[in-house]
Amino acid sequence: NQHKAVDHVIKTVRKICSTLDCVETPAITESVKKLRRAVNLPRTKNAEVSLKCGDDNSKSSSGSLQPENPLKVSIDQLTRAVEALLQLHTNSYSSSAAISPEESKSTKEAWTATEHLQFTVFAAHGISSAWVSNYEKYYLICSLTHNGKDLFKPIQSKKVGTYKNFFYLIKWDELIIFPIQISQLPLESVLCLTLFGILNQSSGSSPDSNKQRKGPEILGQVSLPLFDFRRLLTCGTKLLQLWTSSHPHHVSGTASKKGNVERIVLQIDFPSHAFDIEYKIPQAAKTTLHHSVETLEKPLRERLLAILSKDSTIGLSKEDKKFLWEKRHHCHSHPNSLPKILVSAPHWDWASLPEIYSLLQQWPPLSPLAALELLDSKFADQEVRNTAVNWIETLSDDELTDFLPQFVQALKYETYLDSALVKFLLARALGSIRIAHYLYWLLKDTLYDTKFGVRYEQILGAFLSVCGKRLREELEKQTRLVQLFGMVAERVKQTSGSARQVALQNGMERVQLFFLKNKCRLPLNPSLVAKELNIKACSFFSSNAVPLKVALINADPLGEEINVMFKVGEDLRQDMLALQMIKIMDKIWLQEGLDLRMVIFKCLSTGKDRGMVELVPASDTLRKIQVEYGVTGSFKDKPLAEWLRKYNPTEEEYEKASENFIYSCAGCCVATYVLGICDRHNDNIMLRNTGHMFHIDFGKFLGHAQMFGSFKRDRAPFVLTSDMAYVINGGEKPTIRFQLFVDLCCQAYNLIRKHASLFLNLLSLMLSSGLPELSGVQDLKYVQDALQPQTTDAEATIFFTRLIESSLGSVATKFNFFIHNLAQLRFSGLPSNDEPILSFSAKTYSLKQDGRIKQASVFTYQKRYNPDKHYIYVVRVLREGQVEPTFVFRTFDEFQELHNKLGILFPLWKLPGFPNKMVLGRTHIKDVAARRKVELNSYIQSLMNSSPEVAECDLVYTFFHPLLRDDKVEGIDGIARPADPSPSSPTSGKVGGEVKLSISYRNSTLFIMVMHIKDLVTEDGADPNPYVKTYLLPDTHKTSKRKTKISRKTRNPTFNEMALVYSGYSMETLKQRELQLSVLSAESLRENFFLGGITLPLKEFNLSKETVNWYRLTAVPYL
């Protein structure tokens, strides 16, 4: 009986341990062992394997004079061990237990503690049998972090296997010592423990695919603040729940696959002192040092201003930070530089804080949006974060709603829940029903965060406990409605064919039962109340995710029907973020008086891989519009214009719709370029019948383009096709409407550039959100580069104009649309050779077809006169097995195309450098051609000597394949030349039109940017080939001649080109000069002719600022 009773006790203790996360302390192990001996029970094999110590007590295992004593002692010891485990578990997982210490201890201030930080890693409890079979050894990486960075080099534990007592555990029992004194620890220091597993190479039976991977795997992580919220240093034994990478989550509306949730618990033993070590926050220093930037010497001042002008802390070098910290007292006149200065602070230990806090107290208040950066992971200090929240409190409810996702993410960077940010968000939620509603759904969505789910659960609990009964009931109704939609969507997605419609009908009837008892506010928009479903209007979309189209009847009798899409199986958080950024861009444009007529629709992630999207009424995809004109509709110019005509039959209506198209298209081009929104095809670009264009489905962004073979599908900077240009121009030829479009794009782009720091801060705060395409600094760098931070507005205007030209000329976009039309129509395969690999070659050629190239070199260059004057380069190609070389003729632009496409095909390869296309100053075209011949020859040699993957690819062999035009030339000297190659002076034609110029002066340089010319007139009525030529008069030797590029066949050219640059002129000299500007038409078969000109005395301009104006062209004398 005694044996059975003890056996029962041991099984009960095992159950208690199992309930407490399978934690078995050394005291329990030892007590069970003693109890077994006390009744002379046989020891289990497992106990023998795992217990190696304590055998020296075995002599007294039996034969005592008082047999009841060992048993009683063992039971008492086991009871105390179980009580200690229960107390340990309670202390580890209940904050209330930690608040009331058993006895009051004396305290010691942390800054006086010279001991090194140390702790014992005892074991990881609750190891699954799958881990035991898959992994041979385990180790921990212990890192100490502050401000998101390591304070010291991480320490690795020893590598050990698993042991078996009651359960499997990984036992280290190892002392870890960081060579850093406790006095040097910042208050917000965090200990991060990461568990790694080394795969068991000999185990072949495991079905786990991870076995294929060779290196150690991260199995889980846990973080612990070294000082608790009472600012006392952690002491005693701690149980820390490890967040495993495969941590299963219960998704609303679905059953969890495993009944038991895998919980791994780390047991860490910190030293227990007779006193508490308390961190007392130091007072700010009493220093008041303010200096002007102007007091610095010029080189130092320029260096400081250059650092302060950067949009964010990204890319600040160590030297920059050191210099900035040294000169911090010169920066008070630049308040927004505070984040850069604080991130440059060399130390955040107790001794360094008085100076930092002094700086913080004396700093001029930041605007709420600038202060937002101080809530990033780079700033853990509580005083800094409290100050930031204090500055942010002036944010209006509308602005707070706009930026709420970032505030919710910033909660991850709080060391303690009892923080100013948590209180701020809860207080503002209590003051605004809209903020409360949005905060609820954002917190609800983040419950699925592997690492921070418990924290968000606690904050959501706090919110629900203070928000009031009525709001709580309303939010519960919405949650129930979302669960019902989720179940219907999953059922519809899992079925196929005609069964889908039945599943939809049955599911929606169940949702209708919900509406019999309730009206419900919409999670997407709490101002909309739905009273029932319009089941007949509900359907599903045929795309891969099979989202539901839900039609709800508005409870407001005057309100319109509410149409939303409900998706499962797709992460909508990225769509939410992209739409948030576009909405903020639109607000910036509207604040600056620029209404780009953007269509802003709502999107809400309501849980893991599910959510709702607002459906925009009276809109169609471009694919649907283009396919009305056949599968090749994407290659035609008129579909969009004709579709808009259908819905806007009167001239006035069509004009208004065209205007909406121009403005909204400009906004879309800028927004999609800045955010790097990829995978653009005609099924995710939509058009309202009012002419408003907008984008949907943002699954690829920040430049993460979808690949098509080895090419990026999105090879244009943004989508701007000829059928869009047809609507913009009002026809096939460029008009002043296209100039308006270019100006709108450039103006919108420059306005966003002025707010670059805001967008970088907002995206930086989302880095920890778990979005796969926003995970590191390289993704932020994409946006930073897209915004051209170090360029002037004029240079950015030129840059964006080139992007427009590049996008408009992209056959790839049309081809991408064509592919999508085919895919959607369920055609199989792709048409061969529909997209030439090089624009000047009709087919693709390979080494196999043409034979290996032994040598290739640029032999000479020649001048050509058709279609206009240009130089062409003669390339000598010798192949294996050929005695005589062949000669091919290629222009500089064709070489450029080869280089650009090699860059697309081999993005990770180091390609040879390509000659610069820009030619500044007076152009001696023959000298340029001679120089380029040498440079292009060097380029070809480097290319042919590079890796075979590059040198022998189809792109290179297609470039060198002889074309029909090469065969027509008889020898390399057989080019017909006109009798007199030198052009005559231009003849005068009919004059008319206007030119738009930007004139500015900086760094002893006059910049003249020709932006647009409109309404040019020619005598014969034909479209000219306009270009602009300027001189600074007087100029007897014509040394000041500058020219733009030639624009082909247009009366309304857009240049946006800074080709007219005059360096080395003082402002006084320029005031004595006149700018003579002539517009001419370049002709290949006759003399160039004059289209008009202007003479502008520069003394009439305020050269200290940019002047942008239209000037009428007249028949002025010209050089």
Instruction: Assess whether 562 and 628 both reside in one domain.
Output: no
Tokens matching residue 979: 């009798």
Instruction: Give yes or no: residues 758 and 629 share one domain.
Output: yes
Across the chain, which has 1119 residues, the per-10-residue mean pLDDT values are 85 92 91 85 41 38 51 90 92 60 76 95 93 93 94 95 92 95 96 93 54 75 93 94 60 33 86 93 86 91 92 88 95 94 95 94 95 96 97 96 98 94 97 96 92 92 95 96 96 92 95 94 95 95 91 95 95 96 98 97 95 95 80 61 93 96 97 89 90 92 63 64 88 88 96 96 94 90 91 91 82 46 36 59 86 92 73 92 89 88 74 68 69 92 88 91 75 41 45 94 92 92 92 90 92 89 92 94 82 95 92 86
E strand intervals along 74-134: 106-109, 116-125
CA distance 770 to 53: 45
Query: Residue 602 domain-assigned?
Result: no
CATH code of the domain containing 509? 3.30.1010.10
Q: Are 697 and 718 in contact (CB under 8 A)?
A: no
Backbone angles phi and psi of 433, in degrees to 5: -65, -35
CB environment 212-232: b (16+ within 10 A), e (fewer): eeeebeebbbbbbebbbeebb
Residues 627 and 732 grouped into a single domain: yes
Residues 647 and 532 in one domain: no
Q: Are residues 157 and 191 in the same domain?
A: yes
Of all helices (H) and strands (E), which one includes residue 144? strand 135-146
Q: What per-residue confidence (pLDDT) applies to 44?
A: 46
| Number of structural domains the chain divides into | 7
Q: Where among 29, 61, 94 does a domain terminate?
A: 94
Q: Which domain holds residue 454?
A: 293-425+448-459
For residue 173, what is the domain's CATH number?
2.60.40.150
- Identify the bridge partners of residue 611 per DSSP, sorted by sequence position: 567, 605
CA-based nearest residue to 665, from 804, 799, 793:
804
Name 220's bridge partners.
195, 244
Task: Order the strands of the 619-621 sheet from edge to edge.
Answer: 619-621, 685-688, 693-695
Long-range Cβ contact pairs of 880-884 (< 8 A, separation 24 or more): 880/851, 880/852, 880/853, 880/854, 881/851, 882/851
CA 36/CA 963 separation, integer angstroms: 93
List % helix, strand, coil for the chain (3-state, nearest 5). 40, 20, 40
Say whether both 274 and 349 belong to one domain: no
Q: Is 47 helix (H, G, I), strand (E, B) or coil?
A: helix
439 lies in some domain: no
Lookup result for tokens 């214009």: 641
Last residue within a domain, chosen from 538, 566, 594 = 566
Structure tokens given for 841: 């070659």
Q: Are 820 and 682 in contact (CB under 8 A)?
A: yes
| 421 found inside a domain | yes
SS (H, E, C) 698-748: CCCCCCCCCEECCEECCCCCCCCCHHHHHHHHCCCCCCHHHHHHHHHHHHH
- In the chain, count H helices and then E strands: 35, 36
Please tell me whether residues 814 and 876 are part of one structural domain: no
| 848 inside domain | no
Longest distance between any two alpha carbons in the chain, whole Å: 132
Helix (H) or strand (E) holding 404: helix 397-410
Question: What is the predicted pLDDT for the residue at 876?
Answer: 94
Strands 1089-1097 vs 987-988: parallel, antiparallel or unpaired: parallel
Task: State the amino acid at position 725 in one-letter form.
Answer: A
| Same domain flag for 1019 and 907 | no
Q: Which residues contact 547 (CB under 8 A, 6 or more apart)?
A: 489, 540, 541, 565, 566, 567, 568, 613
Domain boundary among 416, 435, 459: 459
Same-domain pairing of 270 and 127: yes
The pTM (predicted TM-score) of the whole model is 0.79
Whether residue 46 lies inside any domain: the answer is no
pLDDT the model gives residue 71: 83
- Cα 1001 to Cα 88, 602, 995, 1067, 1099, distances in angstroms: 73, 45, 19, 8, 13
Q: In what order do the strands lie in the sheet with 886-890?
A: 853-864, 870-879, 886-890
In a 3-state reduction of DSSP, which class is residue 279? coil
Q: Are 753 and 791 members of one domain?
A: yes
In a domain, 645, yes or no: yes
- Can you give the pLDDT at residue 525? 94
Cα–Cα distances in angstroms (integers) from residue 954 to residues 898, 949, 964, in the given order? 11, 10, 19
State the CB neighbour count (10 A cutoff) for residue 310.
18
443, part of any domain: no
Separation CA 1085–CA 1081 (nearest Å): 12
In a domain, 430, yes or no: no
884-to-394, 651, 878, 881, 966 alpha-carbon distances in Å: 80, 65, 7, 9, 15
Cα dihedral across residues 170, 173, 178, 179: positive or negative: negative
Strands 1005-1014 and 994-1002: antiparallel
Answer for the pair 183, 113: CB distance below 8 angstroms, yes or no.
Answer: yes
Q: What is the CATH number for 930?
A: 3.30.1520.10
Query: Domain check: are 34 and 130 in the same one?
Result: no
User: In the prediction, which pLDDT does 835 show?
Assistant: 52
**Gap between the Cα atoms of 826 and 288, Å rounded:** 73
Q: Is 246 strand, coil or helix?
A: coil
Within this chain, do residues 809 and 868 fall inside the same structural domain, yes or no? Answer: no
529, β-bridge pairs? 521
